[in-house]
Homo-oligomer: A and B are copies of this chain.
């Protein structure tokens, strides 16, 4: 900047004015400065600018998601980007892979970077460690999972309701032996979905069968193995509720392998790109990622615009998308 000023024959302050489009520079001077900047390959240093300015906006929002390669996180990231970029904000994305330590590391990195806001799909269960940031005024929005021990905005899905909806749908199709495969025991969404499943059974007066609720099913392969094991029970399930997208994939693969894909009903939690092209087409509980991302972005922007008030907790209702796999009637028990 000093060099540009010298070449243009003005002061650094004038260069600053031109660069920032502030008034107080004549057209002639403006042009001279721009030419000099061009000639010297001058680039504005946003870091220094942020440091000096009063309102110090870094223009960065951190998005800590489960896995940006996963279609759910990826869709969310995209929707978030669309909501934030028009406001001049860039998104720094990170995958947590359910590792609490990673979450804490990345949060502290983002805090040191003076991020303007945080979007968090937490891998941790307690969030007291964020209280001081919250108090310091850092806007935060939790997605998919609620904050615990921390007062901040959140956008979640009614997991209990969704799982109940799915289970009730299977029950009303005549199923009584409904299995559920669920994620890690202590992930909140998984807990809620299991509760929804049980609530639906209770409401229908169907006794809960412990052997049909399997949790800590991580990944596709484990889901497939679990389904195969379930099929070999003396009294196997006639329907399966898959607790999460990759579990659904594993489930479908296992049923395929057993040639049972037209005999066992399946409802998956989470929709995905080709779900309607699978044979039979997959009935799923769909979360509107697009909308969730947009809402998260909107809340964050409101907070950045200084909106005060108590935390907002938006709960979005998932919908049942019937495509065939969930409408398979219960088959005679093979014996």
A21 within 8 A of B: no
Do A81 and B60 touch across chains, with their CB atoms under 8 A apart?
no
A247 within 8 A of B: no
Cα of A201 to Cα of B73 in the assembled complex, Å: 41
Residues of chain A from 37 to 54 with CB closer than 8 A to chain B in the complex: 41, 43-48, 50-51
Do A47 and B44 touch across chains, with their CB atoms under 8 A apart?
no
A75 within 8 A of B: yes
Nearest CB in chain B to that of A60: its residue? B92
Given contacts A43-B111, A50-B47, A67-B78, contact A275 B278 (CB under 8 A): no
A239 within 8 A of B: no
Instruction: Give the Cβ gap from A211 to chain B, nearest Cβ, in Å.
Output: 27
Cα of A276 to Cα of B253 in the assembled complex, Å: 9
Give me 7 A-to-B residue pairs in the complex whose CB atoms sit less than 8 angstroms apart, sorted by A's number.
A41-B132, A46-B114, A71-B273, A74-B74, A81-B93, A91-B92, A277-B278
A233 within 8 A of B: no
Residues of chain A from 251 to 282 with CB closer than 8 A to chain B in the complex: 252-253, 256, 272-279
A68 within 8 A of B: yes
Which residues of the other chain, B, contact A109 by a CB distance below 8 angstroms? 46, 59, 90
Specify which of B60, B67, B112, B273 is in contact with A274 (CB 8 Å cutoff). Answer: B273
Interface mask (A14-53 → B, CB under 8 Å = 1, otherwise 0): 0000000000000000000000000001011111101100
A69 within 8 A of B: yes
Specify which of B77, B252, B278 is in contact with A93 (CB 8 Å cutoff). Answer: B77
A94 within 8 A of B: yes
Which residues of the other chain, B, contact A74 by a CB distance below 8 angstroms? 68-71, 73-74, 77
